[in-house]
Structure 1
């Protein structure tokens, strides 16, 4: 009998221990859940909780890490503070702006049409229908601790805000003289250069050493009076559409970035006509370049581009002024202490 009672008592203790463990987990989960529902912003009596803040913060954080390729970017100094704190400030401002816009859209009775909502659905479905894009999409959602439903909700909100933007800025106009004046004042934006380029392509580590050695030999010849044009004809691995080896026809800054990289373009556009670059190392290989001619894209050929850019600048200014007025009339409360420990 004593043995039986002892066994029952032992099991009872184990059961109590398990129950206590489960209760502890549930209590911890409750505090985590309740913490995520803490209000971090209150805008005209509309509350934004920590969960919403975290979703937006995680998006900016992930984008920053991937674009900079620096996992430690959150702890670097930026604008007099840690970068993560700068991001938090950015999220607060984004949420305030977004909420004010959505509140204003609601006051105006603005809604998305069925067709506009369907465009968002189609966009997500197109991602999901592509195997590679789908994998990237779900991996991205996992990294920012979000899900498809929240992602879709955010796209719909952004679409409605864009609708408000168009309504507020619909009367913005642009005069021909404004565009011509901008063209004259910013002519370097429309500079076009013709370049002779000795390009030595690198496709593996073995080639890298060989091509670097060749680039140095060719540079030495040029400095000793050799013709860069003749050397390009012999060694360059660029062949243009007209079959002229080593010559890149007129292009503007940005037009060859996808082909040769931003480093190449930056170095070339810092050259004066006739000046020869030093050896330019890029991801694809080595370049030695010289600008052999330059000109400016005619006004008429870039008029549409200028119109689009200037009109957007004017619309953005009008919309920002509108937002500033909304903000002055609003009651905004911030609870920054509740996001202080977020990393």
Structure 2
């Protein structure tokens, strides 16, 4: 996901387990039988509490503190922001079906994950309400990190990867004779991840590929085709279909992004001390 979540540990447990730990277990007095002998619901409750109880209770207490503080400072979380982050989670798993399979494998539900997202965002919003960033701080952060906001030099490239130099030379002759690069990649390339797409690699910035590959690719003009380039993978023929020049960032264009990044860094730094302070302020009683 794109948001930094390092500032506090989110405990995600199966929804059914959370219900048991919260005292909302099944109504039956037993949960299983072995040769007619019952395993009681209370036995399951005790075992789960012994294994997970302290962590879950601490998390519930922290969540309650956050809820109370949110009411005090008047912040909340919109349904839209929860849905947006959940969609990002889906994308990171490769789609809805993949995410649902992962949730089921871990005994989780969409509802429990969205509740975790809500609590994360609410915690962040509560702490953010106490942080006041000046324009000078934001501008200085930009100056210190300007390279990370600028446009890096990139090329859009395709390649045909061959196992031996002799085959690479034969294919290069075909390329230079005007045969379609994409069709040749589909026929000859041993890179199974790209061959079906005609060897397309997409946008490449420096530091992503093998040094020899990058040196050749960035030296090409738009539409250019390399000679044979040897790397540890094999022998490449590279075609550059577009080039994106490096461009320095303008503060006004990225000011909002800089502010958000700096704010999240402050939240990360202040979370532990913020929570410790709030735990002192509230009367917490563990039964």
Tell me the TM-score normalized by structure 2. Answer: 0.49
Query: Which is higher, the Rg of structure 1 or of structure 2?
Result: 1
TM score, norm. by length of structure 1: 0.43
* Higher-helix-fraction structure: 1
